[in-house]
Chain A
Amino acid sequence: MMNSMSNVEFLKELMNRNFKVIETDVIDKYQVSFVLKQADILQALVTLRNAGWIQMSYLSAIDWPDESKIEMIYIFMNWERPVHVQIRSKIDRKDPVMPSIINIYPGAKYYERECHEFFGVKFPGNPDYEKQLILEMWDDIPPLRKDFDPQAYSDRKFTKREYKEDYLVLSDQNSKKEKREVRKERAESLKGGQKV
């Protein structure tokens, strides 16, 4: 616990010795991330677990529609050597399948269910990954994918209600409607847009 930098070094050495690490990123002395091939993931998790990273902190996915990939992300923690390890791997987006890890980390069961619900990743090996968890009777594409449009879903699903734009305005003299519109336009012009 005393020498934290050596923990990161230890992990780097452990992963590089056993697997072909595509990318390593040391975020700080308490966190390091490795990018692996999909085929290596299960073996890497077994190695990590045997090395003492017995607590699963997080499991989720990230959608990258431009590359047509879904990136799986696993985070583990070892309290004796306090480092959070991120393991990431990109899998196919059209038919995302990732073997379940509940035999290695039983706590992953519900995380995988949630991941299936929100990203559509299949987890063979997990007995009930397909059951609904949070979204009741969902009938659209998985909502955390980037091409899911909440506005369109809401328009389709719920009846449209008319709202008065100037519900705050008491008289024309005090109207700040114009000012609001200018501000809104400006905000819209600044929105989005990737800046490199």
Chain B
Amino acid sequence: MKQMKLFLGPQHPGMHGNASVHLYVDGDIIKKSFLLPGMLHRGFEKGMERHSWINNISLIPRVCVVEPDINEMAFAMGVEKLLGLEVPERAHWIRMIILELARLSIHLMAYGGLGGPTGNYTLMYHAHADRNSILDIFEQITGHRVYHQYIVAGGVRKDLPKGIEKDIHAFLDSLEARYEEYRDLGIENPSIVARITDTIMLPEAVVWELGVTGIGMRSAVGKAYDIRKVMPYARYDQVEFEVPTSTYSDARSRIDIKLKELVQSIGIIRQCLAKMPEGPVRVPMGRGQSMRWTVPKGYVYSPVESSRGEFGYYIVSNGGTNPWRVGVRGASYPQGLLGVEKYLPGTRLDDAALWIDTMGVCSPEIDR
């Protein structure tokens, strides 16, 4: 039969962000596919070289739109490693609260995104409504809803507002109460289960070939390969949490892990709020005028566990007031580009959007 070319995205309910997947299909089966990135390229790596260390705070969160905080954390950690800067104790705990709230928010968004390709829009509305409550909390803490610019080298921008603990606890309780409902709406829902079970498989050998990290890797390998566990940053070594895994990676098990991580994140935030000490939250990065702050020479890679896998900044300084080179390792680079090219052919047309959703392909961080 004759092959036909179809585009998945940029505008498509199952395609997040501004990239498109080109598919050559024969009937229902994908014969050839590749991702076309570049529609959201904003030249951030070049832009960061042209701004001072402190100016870059406003560029960094925009690298990944839906989860900006990991960018701030990775950049701040890298600069602190170069400077040899010790962050105040309280700042570590506040950072963890922010990072885990961000993880909750993007997991809810990705889980809601499952509604697009499977046609279950109720799920999407519920999940986005709950994400909105997280954005409200962010607004109280940082003053911004989406791009917070809150975690900076040397700590966090300012202390938590008074009484925010009450709001966070109230939100966590309500989310926990709705957890079973979420399961029923999504992965326990009979109309979806048949659709997501045994589709878009990811065998263990493929994981290492692609270099996939995060939920994709853990769902196939079955080991707790999480940067928070194996090389803890901030104070992740002082909180108790589990890393959910599986050894059979289909769309359903990946979503299942995502939901189990929600519970773990809720636990981490509660522990942080209980253990958090009082004290200062920020030390200045340098002395004198902030535009003149310099960072010693060096090469450093600072990885952070994002919701999609290992997310890292590669920072090179030549001792000047600007970074010499900032490279971004997008967590969804392997599954978004090579994964789409190599492992979509052979699957069905309607499963392509499921790969994009359950592997968490985020086009802003591929383009940068």
Contacts and interface: CB of A to CB of B under 8 A. Distances in A.
Contacts of A105: 211
B314 A110 contact: no
A193 B52 CA distance: 11
Contacts of A19: none
B27 interface: no
Nearest to B50: A150
A117 B97 CA distance: 38
Contacts of A136: 38
A25 B333 CA distance: 27
A109 B291 CA distance: 39
Interface stretch (A9-17, A36-44, A53-61): A53-61
Interface string A17-48: 00000000101101101000000000000000
Contacts of A57: 211, 301, 303, 310, 312, 329
A62 B316 contact: yes
Contacts of B324: 62
A84 B213 CA distance: 14
Interface residues of A, number: 47
Interface residues of chain B: helix, strand, loop or mixed (majority): mixed
A33 B325 CA distance: 17
B287 to A, nearest CB: 12
Interface in B305-328: 310, 312, 314, 316, 318-322, 324-325, 327
For the complex, would chain A's binding face be called helix, strand, loop or mixed by DSSP majority? mixed
A94 to B, nearest CB: 20
A106 to B, nearest CB: 5
A79 B292 CA distance: 39
B329 A194 contact: no
A136 B325 CA distance: 23
Interface in B71-95: 81
Given A135-B41, A191-B321, 14 more contacts: A27-B300, A28-B81, A57-B301, A62-B316, A82-B230, A86-B299, A88-B299, A107-B209, A107-B210, A118-B45, A144-B325, A148-B46, A190-B289, A190-B321
Interface of A: 1, 4, 25, 27-28, 30-31, 33, 54-58, 60, 62-63, 73, 75, 77, 79, 82, 84, 86, 88, 105-107, 109-111, 118, 133-136, 143-144, 148, 150, 187, 190-196
6 shortest A-B CB distances, which residue pairs?
Answer: A107-B211, A134-B38, A82-B230, A110-B337, A30-B231, A194-B320
Interface of B: 37-38, 41, 43, 45-46, 50, 52, 81, 208-211, 213, 223, 225, 230-231, 289, 291-292, 294, 298-301, 303, 310, 312, 314, 316, 318-322, 324-325, 327, 329, 333-334, 337-338, 367
